[in-house]
Amino acid sequence: MITADSLFLRRLRSEWRFQYDLWKTVVDWTIALYLIIPALLLFADAYRSWWLAPPLWLAGLPAVIPQSLLLLFIFTGRMRIFVEEADHLFLLRQRSWHRRIVALGIFYSLGKELLLTVLLFLLLAPFLTTGYGLAVSQIALLIGVTFLFRAVMALSRQLLTLRYADWKGTLLFFLLFSLAGLLFRTELVALAGPPLAPTVFAGWGSSSILEKPNGPGVPPTLQDLSIPSPQDRAPQDQAPLDGVYPAPPSHLARNQADPSAIAGTVEGGHIDVIAATTVIALTVLLGYLIRLRLNWKGHFFHDVARERQERLRYAALILNAAGFRFRKPNRRRQRPIAFRRSNALFRRRAAVDILTEACLKTVLRSRSRLSQYGQMTLLGLFAVTIASGLWKWALWIGAIVVMTQWTGYYWKETIHAEFVQLFRWTVSDQRLAAERALFLLSLPSLLLISAVAGFQSFSWLGAAAALPLGSFAGYVTANMISYFGVIHHEQPAQETDL
């Protein structure tokens, strides 16, 4: 007898079989024998050495790296409900069956997210214990809190996508993104203390912009920092400079792992209360979101399209790497925010100007691309804001390269569009158009990131000086990426229907 549970198990086995057959086409026994197995053995040996003694490069690693990794992890959760097109004929009429399959899909996704969270912290455990001096109880609490944040964000993003398809959804997701990041960082401070969650304005040595000794926007002097000489302080009392915490020896890490010794900036010993309150609140919120998702109606075909996309996600990744490009399904057109009448941007109508204009309008007239652009800009701002010292400017350079490279994907979409390929374009025109498009698209983000980095380091004078530097760096990066991406380009990839 077929029941809802047996039907779900059948679909789950079909999903596993499909993914196994998919990856089996990529990883055969020769690749597994000569590449994957040796790599796993080398990783196991390195992982064992991390437990014995922290690596030397961990001493100079800023805490923004693991913090950014955890923040990125909580925003990449996925929730599956295992609905199919044929359910419209029968399961929608059997409401109890449909709810049961959706509920089982959600709980299966929660179990998978918990497993991924545990695996991530198992990978980070040597660094968190020997490097940052966290106790096992603190790591266990971090696992629970990270899992709850990841599950809540996955369900919230799915519900927002179903409920809002315009700018309201983008705005609400941005607010949710900011609030979740702030709450998660606060929880890191409560559970792990300053070693894992340094102050945002670590370059000034203060926890808030309102607490700078010389006022907002004015960096402190050496007298304000009050740095004692090494002779006046015992070695165990030395504080790290610029928010970079060196890795303690392994025999001292366990002594420093006492939760009472890593109270951070939380006063009064309320760490356990804050952690317990957060866990309870997230658990209640997760239960409410699950109930809301089970009672959600009227978006069956959106659910089917999303499930189909999730099922074929790795297949599309493998085929894209093999040179196949897929035509995206037509979506309901929305009125663009900018250039609604498609007016010309440049007076001259040369080939370079037409290609540049096409790439700019591809991004500026698309709500989804503008949303992605804003998210990448916020990620770059977050990186340069938290880092300090030389790491701030290293991440500034990295943000310029990543942002320009990101806009290069928009250029590839434009140049491979069916309408654009109806015309013949010379290689020199493509290169000049790519250089201009990449520079103009990345310029607003680079100016904002450069201004913030310069203001944090050298006040208003630094912000004014960082603007032309950011523009010049963006121009050079766009020139290099356009050269290697157009002059040394491949032939347009084949297209196929998914």
Q: What is the DSSP string of 406-466?
A: HHHHHHHHHHTSTTGGGS---HHHHHHHHHHHHHHHHHHHHHHHHHHHHHHHHHHHHHHHH
Number of Cβ within 10 Å of residue 253's Cβ equals: 20
At 348, phi and psi to the nearest 5? -75, 135
Q: Supply angle C-alpha 469, 473, 475, rounded to 5.
A: 120
Question: Facing residues of 325 across strands?
Answer: 495
Contact 241, 201 (CB under 8 A): no
Task: Classify 324 as helix, strand or coil.
Answer: strand
Q: Among all chains, which residue has been given the structure tokens 């320009």? A: 404
Amino acid type, 250: S
Kindly state the tokens that stand for 46.
């390195």
Q: Is 477 exposed, middle or buried (0-12, 13-18, 19+ CB in 10 A)?
A: buried
pTM score = 0.62
- CA dist 202 and 386 (Å) reads 7
pLDDT (tens place) for every residue of the chain, 498 residues total:
788 889 999 999 999 999 999 888 888 888 888 888 888 998 898 888 888 877 777 766 666 677 778 888 998 889 999 998 888 888 878 888 889 999 999 999 999 999 999 999 999 888 888 777 788 888 888 899 999 999 999 999 888 888 886 667 777 877 888 888 788 877 777 776 655 554 433 333 333 333 334 444 444 443 443 434 434 444 444 444 444 444 444 433 443 444 444 444 444 345 567 767 888 888 999 999 999 999 888 888 888 888 998 888 888 888 776 666 655 555 555 555 555 566 667 777 788 888 888 888 888 877 778 878 888 888 888 878 877 778 788 888 888 888 888 888 888 888 888 788 788 888 888 888 888 888 888 898 999 999 988 888 888 888 888 899 988 988 898 888 887 765 444 444 444 444
